[in-house]
A and B are shown apart, each in its own frame.
Chain A
Amino acid sequence: MGCPAEIIWYKDVGSLRMCDAVVIPGGFSYGDYLRAGAIAARTPVMDVVRDMAEDGVPILGICNGFQVLTESLLLEGALMINEYPKFICKWCTLRVEENESPFTSKFDVGELIRIPIAHKEGRYYHTKEGLERLNASNLIALRYVDENGEPNASANPNGSVENIAGILNESKNVMGLMPHPERACNSLLGSEDGRRMIEGIIEFIKK
C-alpha cells in the first residue's frame, strides 16, 4: 500500500522504536494460555509499546492484539469468553461510531462496513461508569449491527456490552478491535472495507 512495513520479532525490542506506527496483529500469543493476551502484555516489548503510545504513535490492536492492549491497560475494559462460550468465525456488519482517529478517518460516522471476526474471548466488558465515560468522550469506534444498522442482540456475535466491537484510548492514538480488518482487503474474499483502516494510519503518519 505504498508504505514500508516490517514484522518485528518480539524479542527484538530495539528496532520497534524506529517505527512510525504499530499493529499488534491477531493470533494466539503464548497459545492464549492462562488468558488471551495476558502473558504477552507482560513481555518487555510491551514496555516499548507503552512508551510509544504515550508519544502519540498510532497503535492498532487486532483481535489478540486488542486483548494484549486491554491486558496492558493501554485500553480500558476487558475481553471475556464469548457469551456462547465457543470460538466464532463469521462476517459481521459494523457501524462506524466516530471518525476522528487515524484508524477511522477514512470512514463516515454511521457508515456500515463488513469485516469478519474470529475469536473465543471477544466479549467486551466495561463497568457502567467506564461505558459512560467512553460514550461521553466518543471513544467507541465500532459496534456490531444488523443490516439496518441497529445494534441489537441478534447482531451481537459474542455478547459484548453495548455491541462494542472496537474502542479507542483517550487521545485516540490507540485502537483495539475484535474484527479483522486485514481480512477485508480483497472484494473476492468478502470485502475491501478493512483497507481504509490501514489507509487512514498511513495517511496519518505521512502528515
Chain B
Amino acid sequence: MERIIPEEDYEIIRKELGREPNLVEQGCFLNLWSEHCAYRSSSKLLKTLPTQGERVVVGPGEDAAVIRLENDICLVIGMESHNHPSYVDPYSGAATGVGGIVRDILCMGARPIALMDPLYFGNIDNPKNLYLFEHVVAGISDYGNCIGVPVVRGECFFDESYSGNPLVNVVCIGIVKEEKIISSKGRRAGDYVVLIGSTTGRDGLGGASFASRDLSSTPDEDRPSVQIGDPYTEKLIIEATLEAMDRGIVEACKDLGAAGLAGASSEMAAGGGLGIRIFADAVPLREKGLTTYEILLAESQERMIIEVRPENVEEIAEIARKYDIAFGVVGVLTQEKKFVVEHNGEVVVDLPMDLLVGGAPPYDRKARKRTTYTLPSVSTEVSDYRNIILKILSSPNVAFKDWVFRQYDHEVQIRTYVKPGEDCGVLLDPMCEHMIALSCGCNPRHVALNPYEGTKLSIIENSSNLAVVGAEPICIVNCLNFGNPEDEEVYWDFRESVRGLGDGAREIGVPVVGGNVSFYNESEEFGTEVLPTPSIGMVGILPKMRVPSMYLSEGESIVLVGATYDEMLGSEFYECCGVLSESNAPKFRREYVESIKKVREVVRQGIVSSAHDLSIGGLAVGICKMALKCGAEVRIEHDSATLNTLLFSETYGRFVLGVEEEFVDEVLSKTGGQVIGKAGGKRIKINDILLDLSDVQTALSSLTKTMIGDEK
C-alpha cells in the first residue's frame, strides 16, 4: 500500500485499525491529523490559557465563541489566519480567508456584522512584497465588500521578516440572540446532514496539510492548494442559512474549511459523540469524475453542512432553490461512532471516529531559549529632530493606512460610529444598549525581543486602544503566527508567547475565547522567517455616548498619562535611525493596567474631548497625529540624555488626552497625568522643535503616495 502519511502516524493508525489504511483513509488522516487541524504542536500549551468568564456563553471548541453583550444579546467572535494561501495567491488567499471566518460566525446562528484585518508584510520597496500587499488588500476588499460585511479596523505592519510570507489574519464578529445560538455539534442519530452552497471541485485540495509544512520555493506548483473565492455565493449562503435558522430547522451547522467535507462532517459527528455515514455520490460536483479522495478533501469554498430532522429536508431544499445554490443530502448521523463513506455503491472509508478526530498524538516539541538577538548597526548622534520626526512619521508602520481602509466598505450595515484610522472601531447597533469597540494587532518587534513580555504587552496595547473610547474589554481572540515549530528557538518563542498571552489576559481579567495557530511561516525564496507574531483581537463594550476623537481641538490642554521609561529597543526610532545607546526592551508593569482603568473612567465621564494611546513612534508621533488639525505647543522637561527617550520610547500604558480647561484639574487628579501643552496655533512645537502641519500631513501620507502617487 502506498503511504502518504508520516511513518509514525501510519504505524499508530495501522495498529488501531488492525489493518492497512487505504489511500482515501490516509488522506483523511493526513488532513485531520495535520498541524492546522489537530494543533499537535500547540494544544498542550493552549490549554493553559484562561478561557472562562461570566460573559462566556460558548468558549473555545466550536467554530466561534459566544460572549454575552447584554441581556439575551450575544456576540459571536472568531479569528483565523490565511497566511500560506496568501503567499501563493495573495488575492484569492486573502479573499477566502474572509469567507472562511464569516462562515464560522454564521454557523453559530449569527449575522456577521464586522471584520478586522491585521496584516503583516515585507518591506514594500521590494516588488514582490508590493505585489503581495496590493493583492492581499484587493482580495479582502473585493470579497468583504461584495458580501456586505464591513472591515472596521485593522493593522498593517511592515518588516523584512515577512518578505515573501505575509501574514493575513482576520477577525469576524456577529450578533445573535441567545435562544438562536446554533452549535456545530451533531445532535441525534438519524438526522440528515445536508450540504448547501457551492459545488465541489478540485480546488483547495489538501489545504490543511499544505498549511502545515514550509512552503517550497516554487509556489506555483502549490496553486491547486489555494481556493478560489466566490463572494456572491457566500452572500447567498449567508442569507439562505440565516433563513433556515430563522425557521428553526437547523439542528447543527458547520462550515467546510480545512480538510473539506471529511473535516466538517467528522467533526460535527464527533462533537455530538456520534458517527456519520457519508453519501459521496450525493455531493453536488463542479465537474464529472472526481474521486472519493477529492470529494472528501477538496476545500472548495462557500459550502456549509447542516444537520436537519428527516421531516425538514424538503424545506431546506426549497430554501436552497430560492437562493439558487447547490444542495445535497450528503450524510446521516449514526449511533455507532464511525466515519463511513459510501461511493459508487461501495464503502470506501470505514474508520473509528475517536481515532480520526482527536486521535492524533500531540508532538513533544523541544524549546531552547533564544539568544541570537543582534542589535542593528550604530548610527550617528541625533541633531536634527525635526527631520527625524518627519522620517518616523513617513515610515509605513507609522503613516496613515487610508490607502488600505478606503478600499474596504467600512460603512456597510450602517453601524460604524468610529471609522478606521483611529485607535479602535466603534459600532452602534440599534438593538443594543451598549456600543461595541474593536481593536487588533501586536508589535512583533517587541515580541521578538521578549516573547513573554511582548505578548503580554499586546494585551495592554489593545486594552489601551479600547480605553480611549471608554470601552471595557470583554474578550480576546488571537492568531499565533510563528515559524517552524521544529526549530527549538521558534518553539521557545511560541511557548513564551502563549505564557504571556495567558498572563496578560489574567492581568486584565478577560478570557481568551478563540483563535488559531499558524506555524511554518517562512520563505525559502527570501530566506526569511516571520517575527513571532501573536496577533490579538479584542472586543470591548461601552455605554452609548459621544466618544472622544483622536484629534485635538483648538484650546484643549494636553495631558500625558503614564510614565515614560528608557525602552528604545524595538522602537520605530531605532528602526529609522539606528541604535544610539544601550537601552531596554519594553516591559510589562502593573501600573499600565491602572492607567487604562483611570483613562477609561474619565473618558466615560465625558470630561475628555480627545484621546489617543501611545504606541509605535512614541510621544512625538502621538502628538503629531493628534495635532494634525489644529497644531499644538508642547513642552517636556528633560535633561539632554533623556530627550530621545521622552520623544521616542515606546513604553506601554501611556495616553495623551485633550481636555477642556474646566475639567483639567479633575482629569489630572483622577489619572495622575501632567499637563504638557496646549492645542492650537496651526503648527506643532515640541520644546524647540518646530513642525509645519503640512509637512506632518505629507509625512503621514507617505504610504498613500507610494501606492497612488498624487493624493486624492
Binding site for B on A (CB under 8 A): 11, 27-28, 30-33, 84, 86-90, 116, 118, 120, 154, 157, 180, 182-183, 185-186, 188-189
Contacts and interface: CB of A to CB of B under 8 A. Distances in A.
Q: Name the interface size band of chain B.
A: 20 to 34
Contacts of B233: 31
B235 A118 contact: no
Given A89-B406, A183-B411, A30 B416 contact: no
B417 A189 contact: yes
A87 B142 CA distance: 8
B146 A31 contact: yes
A186 B415 CA distance: 10
Nearest to A86: B407
Interface in B387-437: 405-412, 414-417, 428
A87 B146 CA distance: 11
Given A28-B232, A188-B546, A189-B428, A86 B141 contact: yes
Contact of B231 (A28, A86, A120, A182): A28
Given A28-B146, A89-B405, 7 more contacts: A33-B232, A86-B407, A87-B406, A87-B408, A89-B411, A118-B145, A189-B428
A31 B230 contact: yes
A45 to B, nearest CB: 15
B404 to A, nearest CB: 10
B111 to A, nearest CB: 15
A177 to B, nearest CB: 15
Contacts of A11: 322
The A interface is mostly helix, strand or loop, or mixed, namely mixed
Contacts of A32: 146
Given A89-B411, A183-B414, A28 B145 contact: yes
Contact of A157 (B230, B428, B712): B712
Contact of A182 (B148, B232, B414, B546): B414
B138 interface: yes
- Name, among A11, A33, A90, A157, the residue most crowded by chain B CB atoms within 10 Å (CB to CB): A90
B708 interface: yes
Given A28-B145, A84-B712, A189-B417, A89 B407 contact: yes
B406 A90 contact: yes
A87 B232 contact: no
26 contacts: A28-B145, A28-B148, A28-B232, A30-B232, A31-B230, A31-B231, A32-B146, A84-B708, A86-B141, A87-B141, A87-B142, A87-B145, A87-B406, A88-B406, A89-B408, A89-B411, A118-B409, A154-B712, A183-B411, A186-B428, A188-B417, A188-B428, A188-B546, A189-B414, A189-B416, A189-B417
Contacts of B408: 87, 89
Contacts of B410: 89
A188 B427 CA distance: 11
A87 B407 contact: yes
Contacts of A116: 411
A189 to B, nearest CB: 6
Given A87-B145, A90-B406, A180 B235 contact: no
Contacts of A186: 414, 428
A79 B406 CA distance: 19
Nearest to B405: A89
B182 to A, nearest CB: 24
Contacts of A31: 146, 230-233, 235
Nearest to B407: A87
Contacts of B232: 28, 30-31, 33
A186 B408 CA distance: 21
B413 to A, nearest CB: 9
A8 B712 CA distance: 38
Contacts of B412: 118
A87 B405 CA distance: 10
B46 to A, nearest CB: 36
Contacts of A87: 141-142, 145, 406-409
A55 to B, nearest CB: 29
Contact of B407 (A28, A88, A157): A88
A37 to B, nearest CB: 14
A30 to B, nearest CB: 6
B708 to A, nearest CB: 6
Contacts of B322: 11
Contacts of A30: 232
A157 B546 CA distance: 29
Contacts of A86: 138, 141, 407
- Name, among B230, B414, B417, the residue most crowded by chain A CB atoms within 10 Å (CB to CB): B414
Contact of A27 (B142, B148, B405, B546): B148
